[in-house]
Amino acid sequence: MSKNYSRRDFIKSSAMSTAAASVLMTAGRVHANENNTLKVGLIGCGGRGRGALANTLEADPNTELVAVGDAFRENAEAAVEGLAEQFANRVKVTPDRIFDGIECYKQVVPLCDVVLLCETPGFRPRSLRFAVESGKHVFCEKPVAADAAGIRSVMESAEIARKNGTSLVSGLCRRYHPDTVEMVNRVKDGEIGNVVSGRLLYLTSQPWKRARREGDTEMKYQVRNWYNYAWLSGDFNVEQHVHTLDKALWVMNNVVPDAVFGLGGRMQRIQQPANGDIYDSMATCFEYNSGIAFYSYCRQQNNCWSKVEAIISGSEGTAELMAGVIRDYNGNVVYQQEKGPYDMYLIEHQKMYEAIRGGNVINNGDYMAKATMMGIAARMTCYTGARLSWADALASEESMAPTGYTWDDSPWSLPDDKGRYLISVPGEGRVYHQIIRD
């Protein structure tokens, strides 16, 4: 993608490719040329899900929303209502096509050609598998799993999509941002010499917590408050930091590190029920046998320095991928990017429909699985204190699965009679080690 990529260019290239396409279709693939209306379904109707849906409807005028599903019916209904005015004649969801529950994907997917997976990450391997096995095109938000078993499943699903010839587009949106693409290409083109190391930062304040509601089972409460449970979000270094970890993977041409070690804990997230079981700070080193290393720091603590950046160090200089700056080792700025007016969230959907209609399948399965696994491996080393090879981390049989997928099943993490959750303590396992303040 060039720096000059614009919406006008996109529409032009899209029109050319769709006009040329008399769309080859095989079993399991959705028929699509520029005149076909593609039926879209949304699973996970929260903030990002509603955003992704608006992106989809804006990206391709021949799409319509036919079904939605969310763990909680009110969220699904709100998504439909929220978009009905803007896209009135293309939001065609009757009440019987609004589904709820943890496994609502089973009802949504069969009704659609394109599925947007925007639910809680821990559930995504199951909905993704069902969608690709059903031959659907998928937009799949990041991260794609919460544990290694989930990653292995996602890798298999990516292969199924590849064989089906269906698109699998990742919500790792920076891969679709022309400014970031350009900076990564400059690094790959050798503008900082050979890549030697990197500093990967996601230093922010604490995000949301959601309160327990009257009548919530433990499962229902945790799904409501999902960010704060490792089995659902992967922990914050997976849920949030995956964007920055992916930039290291990207400059390394999607070659994964050989080993990982790290340290972390929670200091502001003290033991209170809404804080769940996740950490609030992690520092991890991703090591390559070649000697290349990436140093990763992520933190969600209030009143601290905040910064989100990937600084890649090469033999001749450094590149700040987000700021768009390249420096030599005398401190001189040798390149300063002019930022474009791009909407990466829209572009990823434009690209998806361009591919579907042009018969050029996109499959982002490889990097979305590897980037998520970097976060999971980092969490594993920080939780346990062990240094892990990539192969061992990926082969891990540690299961974070619940006992089942109904509101009455038990989540991976259960509170004791004082409402305390087990917290991972390096070298000690999962223990109730913190006192409850107040």
Kindly tell me which of 21 and 401 has the beta carbon lying closer to ligand NAD.
401
User: Any alpha helices (H) in 95-235, and if so which ranges?
Assistant: 105-108, 124-133, 148-164, 178-188, 218-224, 230-233
Q: Which one of 41, 121, 198, 257 is in contact with ligand NAD (CB under 6 A)?
A: 121
Measured in whole angstroms, how far is the alpha carbon of residue 414 from the centre of its chain? 25
Kindly tell me which of 18 and 75 has the beta carbon lying closer to ligand NAD.
75
Other CB atoms within a 10 A radius of the CB of residue 93 amount to 22
Phi (first) and psi of residue 166, to 5 degrees: -105, 155
The residue range among 10-18, 19-27, 67-75, 244-252 that interacts with ligand NAD, by the rule CB under 6 A, is: 67-75
128 closest CA partner among 100, 148, 108: 108
Kindly tell me which of 130 and 383 has the beta carbon lying closer to ligand NAD.
130
Least distance CB 78 / ligand NAD (angstroms): 9
Tallying the residues shown for the chain, one arrives at: 438
Give the integer Cα–Cα distance in Å for 218 and 130.
26
Report the site for ligand NAD in 177-216 (rule: CB under 6 A). none
Q: Which one of 60, 64, 70, 280 is in contact with ligand NAD (CB under 6 A)?
A: 70
Report the site for ligand NAD in 267-296 (rule: CB under 6 A). none
Report the site for ligand NAD in 210-249 (rule: CB under 6 A). 223, 239
Report the site for ligand NAD in 28-47 (rule: CB under 6 A). 43-47
The site that binds ligand NAD (CB under 6 A) totals a number of residues, namely 25
The residue range among 112-120, 128-136, 377-385, 425-433 that interacts with ligand NAD, by the rule CB under 6 A, is: 112-120
Residue 363 · residue 165 · CB < 8 Å:
no
For residue 49, state whether it binds ligand NAD (rule: CB under 6 A). yes
Report the site for ligand NAD in 125-184 (rule: CB under 6 A). 141-142, 171, 173
Kindly tell me which of 102 and 371 has the beta carbon lying closer to ligand NAD.
102
Q: Which one of 3, 48, 152, 327 is in contact with ligand NAD (CB under 6 A)?
A: 48
Give the integer Cα–Cα distance in Å for 168 and 264.
33
224 closest CA partner among 52, 71, 51: 71
C-alpha distances out from residue 363 to 130, 167, 293, 429, Å = 16, 6, 28, 38
Q: Which one of 18, 56, 120, 384 is in contact with ligand NAD (CB under 6 A)?
A: 120
Per DSSP, the residues of 352-406 read HHHHHHHT---B-HHHHHHHHHHHHHHHHHHHH---EEHHHHHH-------S-SS
The residue range among 7-15, 116-124, 323-331, 386-394 that interacts with ligand NAD, by the rule CB under 6 A, is: 116-124
Question: Which residues contact residue 128 at a Cβ distance below 8 angstroms, ignoring those fewer than 6 apart?
Answer: 117, 138, 140, 144, 153, 154, 157
Q: Which one of 104, 155, 183, 321 is in contact with ligand NAD (CB under 6 A)?
A: 104
SS3 state of residue 351: helix
Tokens matching residue 64: 């319509």
The residue range among 21-29, 114-122, 247-255, 260-268 that interacts with ligand NAD, by the rule CB under 6 A, is: 114-122
Q: Which one of 102, 151, 245, 371 is in contact with ligand NAD (CB under 6 A)?
A: 102
Kindly tell me which of 241 and 266 has the beta carbon lying closer to ligand NAD.
241
Site for ligand NAD, rule CB under 6 A: 43-49, 69-72, 75, 102, 104, 118-121, 123, 141-142, 171, 173, 223, 239
